[in-house]
Structure 1
Amino acid sequence: MLTVIIECQDQEPELAQTLAALVSGAVEGLVCDVVVLDHGSRDGTSQVADAAGCRFYSQWDINDILRSARGEWLLLVEPGARPQAGWIDEIAEYMSLNKVPARFTASRGYRRPFLKRFGRTKPPLELGFLVSKRQAIASAKTGMRLSEFTKGHKIRRLSSELIPSWVARAAR
C-alpha cells in the first residue's frame, strides 16, 4: 500500500488536479491515504483536501507524519503533478520487487521548452519520489521539507510518465 504526501501553499487548483489523478490508484487499492502538508494557504486548499478525504495538516512534525503513514511506501509529489496511464500497476510491482527509491519519467507530451532544459537543475520533486516508509523515517530530520528527502539516494527511473507540476502552473 502507498501513502501519497503533498506539500503545498496556496495551490488549490494544482492540488485538485493531483488528487483527481490519484483517484484511480485509490479505487485499485494501491493508494491507502493521502496527506497534505500546508504552509499557511489562504485559498481553498484545505477544503479541496477535506473534500477528497485527505489528512490535512497546517502544523506538523515530519517524523510524526511519516510514522502515521498507513502505507509501507511513500510517494512524494508536488501539487499539480499527474501520473499517467500505467502508473498503478508499475508502482505496485516496483514496491513488491525493489527496495531503492524511484521517480517517474517526464511525460513526453509535456517537456520543458528546449532551451529551458539546460543550465538549471530540476526541482527535486518535479518527477515525484517513491521511497519506502522505512527509508524515509531513517533519513528524516525535524523541520525537513519533502524536497530534501531526495538527497543522498540512488534513484531508479520508472517507465511510467508524470506530467510535472509546472504544466499546471503554466495553465493558470
Structure 2
Amino acid sequence: MISAFIEYRDDPEGLARTLASLVPAAVEGVVKDAFVFARERNGDVAAVTEVSGAVLLAGQSPSQAAEHGRGEWLLLLEAGATLEDGWTAAARSWGGTREAPARFRRVKGSFFARVWPRGRPLASGLLIRRDRFRSVAASSDSLGAVASGRAAGKLDARIVPARP
C-alpha cells in the first residue's frame, strides 16, 4: 500500500528513529518498502540505511525516486520524525476513500510553530498518491520541494517532527 521516502539531512540518529517508527507498519504489511533520499552518499547514511533494510537513493532527483517502490501511496518524511501509534489505520482509511494528499497532525511545539513551520515542508509529513507525486516531482529538487505549498487534508494521526 505505502512506500516510505525519507529525506536525509545529516542526522543519522534521527534517520534511525524514523526508520524504527516504520517497523510496526512494515510488519502489518502497510509499508511495503522504505527509501532514504540523500543528496550524496556518506558512511553514516549508508550504514543506517543498510542495517535497517531500506534502500539508499543518493544523488537522485525526486522524479527518479518515484520509479522505486511498490506502494500506490508514497509517505514523505524528514529524517528524525516519528509517527505515533495508530497512524496505519488512519492512512489505510484515507487511502481507501480519498485521492487527495494528506498530512499528519503535529504533537510538539507552540501553536505558531504548528501553523507556520518555518521552511520545513515535511514537518507534518505528506501522504501522496504515486501518480500525483510524479506530476510534481519533475520540477522539484528535493522531497521537501515536492511537499512545499501542497494542499493536503489532515490525517487522524500524529507525528513528532524532527528537531530543527
The CA RMSD measured in Å over matched residues stands at: 2.1
For 1:70, the equivalent position in structure 2 comes to 70
For 1:33, the equivalent position in structure 2 comes to 33
In 1, the alpha carbon distance for the partners of 2:78 and 2:19 equals 11
Does 2:17 correspond to 1:20?
Answer: no
For 1:50, the equivalent position in structure 2 comes to 50
Check the 8 A contact 1:12/1:44 in 2, yes or no: yes
For 1:134, the equivalent position in structure 2 comes to 131
CA spacing shift, 1:38–1:152, aligned 2, 3 Å: closer
Question: Which structure is larger by alpha-carbon Rg, 1 or 2?
Answer: 1
Amino acid at match of 1:62: P
Check the 8 A contact 2:101/2:152 in 1, yes or no: yes
For residues 94-109 of structure 1, the aligned pairs below 5 Å read: 94-107=94-107
For residues 147-158 of structure 1, the aligned pairs below 5 Å read: 147-151=144-148, 153-158=150-155
CA spacing shift, 1:147–1:28, aligned 2, 3 Å: same
For 1:5, the equivalent position in structure 2 comes to 5
Question: How far does residue 65 in structure 1 lie from its aligned partner after superposition?
Answer: 1.4
Check the 8 A contact 2:16/2:48 in 1, yes or no: yes
| Structure 1 residue runs without a partner (length 5+) | none
TM-score in terms of structure 2 length: 0.90
Check the 8 A contact 1:5/1:36 in 2, yes or no: yes
TM-score in terms of structure 1 length: 0.86
1:67 aligned counterpart, secondary structure? coil
Question: How far does residue 67 in structure 1 lie from its aligned partner after superposition?
Answer: 2.0
The partner residue of 1:146 within 143, 146, 164 is: 143
